[in-house]
Structures are given as structure tokens and as C-alpha cells.
Homo-oligomer: A and B are copies of this chain.
Amino acid sequence: MAQEIKKIALLTGGGDCPGLNAVIRAVTKAAILNYGMEVIGYKFGYRGLYKNDFVPLTLDSVSGILNRGGTILYSSNKDNLFDYQVEEDGVIVKKDVSDVAVENLKKEGVDVLIVIGGDGTLTSARDFSRKGIKVIGVPKTIDNDLASTDVTFGFNTAIDVVTEALDRLHTTAESHHRIMLCEVMGRNAGWIALEAGIAGSADVILIPEIPYDINKIAEKVREREAEGKNFTIVVVAEGAKPKNGEVVVSKIVKDSPDPIRLGGIGNKLAEDLERLIVDHEVRCTVLGHIQRGGNTSTYDRILSTRYGVAAVELIREGKFGHMVCLKGDTISSDTLENVIGQQTKLVNPEGELVQIAKKIGTTFAE
């Protein structure tokens, strides 16, 4: 049956993430070298599918991209073709334009569509699958919070960047006896803060899953002073919440043009901590976009390559409507129907990693 698959198309949706290009390269090489398929890539995610804007993907065009962050196919954040913003008679309306996409796939003779993206992008993939399109999904989230797969690419690169930043902040904190806050990605799940916090020797880790009490941070600072350590490193996930449940957004965050950079709690917390602990300076660094970009780590290059080749193998096996995933150390797959709508994989406050961090003296300021 698989013999009939002659042409496949790829698209990348949502925020960029190290490893996207490695997946694109692996899909393209595996499809061409092993099965003689033709490969094209739609530009800017579903928008390109709607506008029939694509490029051919060849051995040449994917050469040299293995370690480059970003995506050579570009991406857009919000294009849902099932509820798409179009102009009609001078008025902006939302409508389902998915049939245009289906038509474009037919016109180009695309047999299978491989969709690399996060929850939103994959939900559309499932919906195209329901419309009869042969779809394969590849999961992407830099936050590592998908329940359907143990690890997603990009996460290892992100914690590398954060850990290196924490290493740098340590020397300044120590030299000036400061409290240094480092705000990192993680709206709903605290994986980046947790793992980079362990690797970067943070004294306090604040994550959305464990609401914090600011007084416990002050306690930790005092406790460290008593041990002769006059500085404290705090990693804060952007979605961290104070214990009383009230998410007080800082004055300096309001009306911010850049929710990724300023949307979190870091600056507010720095203000409050400096009032609470008057004999120490408190500084906050918001890592923002440098967590997403640049050179892809060794680990992510390998994982992305595995995902990309596995996606092509799913085609060969006729497993349409499936998404590749990693379980333990093994690549497998699950149906998009099962995967979509699953809960976000949150940090378990009773789980091993949190317990590990506590055992070596890190506090979550509960």
C-alpha cells in the first residue's frame, strides 16, 4: 500500500524551537534516499498551505541545517484554517477555510502531510485527518509539557542556555552578595525552571505547580547567610504564582509589548523581595528569546533526527493520523485522536525530580 505514496509535504507551526530544522532534514533525507518520494515544505505553517506557498525540499536544500535553530520553512503562531481570519467585502471575518487547504494538497498531488507543531497545530492536524487527509504529527514544545511523549526536542537546548546563564549569574551574585532572580519560560509547566535549576545549582525554584510563599524565600536567604553564603540564586518560571493565589502583575509589566519577556512574575517578585530583605540588592534577569534560538544541542539533534525518520516510517507502515513519540528510550507512536486534548504534563510536586531538588537543599518556597 505504501508504494502509492509518492509525494509528501511538511509544515512547521507555532513558536520556533531548536530541532525543527533537524526534523525537516531527517524527513527529507529519509523520504528521498529510501523511498524516492518527492518532498515539499509549506511556508509559515498552515498559512502557506492555505495560500499554496511552498518550496521543494531536496538533499541540497536541507544540507547544513542540522544544527541551526529556527525553521527554514518559517512559522506562524496563530493560523487555524478551521477558524481563519479573512477579509470579506472589506470586513474582517473568521471562517473555516480548510477546504481550500484540502484542494491545494490535491492540486499539488500531495499524498501525506507531516505536521510539526504543538497542541494547537496538532489539533488542526487531527481535524485535517478527520477530513480524510493522510496526516502524520511530530510533537513540538520547548516546555516539554506534552503528556503523550516523554521528551520533546528543544527542551534540552533551552535548559542548556538557562544553565549557562545561571552559571554566569552565580559569579556576580557572589561578588556583590546579591539575590539574583532568573525568569525562564514555563507558563503552565515548570520543567525548564526545575531541570535548569537543578543543573545550575539554584537555591530557590519557583514553578506554576507549587505556589510560593515569598516569606519562605526570605527564610532561605537568612538560612544561607547563617551558613556563610551571602548570595542566593532564584529561578522563576514565568507562570509561577504566589501561594495566596493572587497573581500580582508588576507595574512594569502592564501594557508590555512583549508578553514572553515581561509577562511573568520575575520583576514583581524582585521589587517585593527587595522591600522584604532590605540588606541585599535584588536583581532580575528575564532570559526571554535567547532560550529558543541558536545552535541545537547534541541531544536535541539526535532526538529530532529520530523523530523525523520515524515520521517517514509511519508513512511506510500506513499509520496515518498518528503522531511519533518517545516512550522511555523507544520511539513509538499514538493516534492524534488520543493525543489531542490530553492534559498538559505538569511537574508532579511529589515526583522524583522535585524530591531530588529538595534533598540537596533547594527550596520551592511552599
Contact = CB atoms under 8 A, between A and B. Distances in A.
Given A163-B301, A289-B180, A252 B260 contact: no
A309 to B, nearest CB: 5
Interface string A271-314: 10010000000111111111011110111011001100100110
Nearest to A59: B227
Contact of A26 (B229, B255, B360): B360
Contact of A71 (B25, B175, B201, B251): B175
A365 B361 CA distance: 48
Interface stretch (A103-111, A112-120, A205-213, A328-336): A328-336
B356 A76 contact: no
B29 A361 contact: yes
A237 interface: no
A146 to B, nearest CB: 14
Contacts of A188: none
Contacts of A174: 70, 74
A207 B309 CA distance: 22
Interface in A196-252: 196, 198-199, 201, 227, 229, 251-252
A327 to B, nearest CB: 8
A145 interface: no
Interface string A319-332: 00000000111110
A160 B298 contact: yes
A55 interface: no
Interface in A321-360: 327-331, 352-353, 355-356, 359-360
A176 B76 contact: yes
A283 B258 contact: yes
A292 B172 CA distance: 7
A302 B261 contact: no
A283 B305 contact: no
A172 B161 CA distance: 15
A267 B271 contact: no
A282 B201 CA distance: 33
A301 B359 contact: no
A290 B165 CA distance: 6
Nearest to A15: B176
Contact of A176 (B75, B270, B282): B75
Contacts of A331: 352
Given A251-B254, A257-B267, 6 more contacts: A29-B359, A70-B170, A74-B175, A171-B293, A285-B288, A328-B329
Interface of A: 15-16, 20, 25-26, 29-30, 33-34, 59, 63, 66-71, 74-77, 150, 156, 159-161, 163-165, 167-172, 174-177, 180, 195-196, 198-199, 201, 227, 229, 251-258, 260-262, 267, 270-271, 274, 282-290, 292-295, 297-299, 301-302, 305-306, 309, 312-313, 327-331, 352-353, 355-356, 359-361
7 contacts: A163-B301, A167-B293, A168-B294, A180-B289, A252-B256, A257-B271, A261-B286
Top 7 nearest A-B pairs by Cβ distance?
A: A328-B328, A70-B171, A168-B294, A69-B171, A70-B175, A168-B293, A16-B175
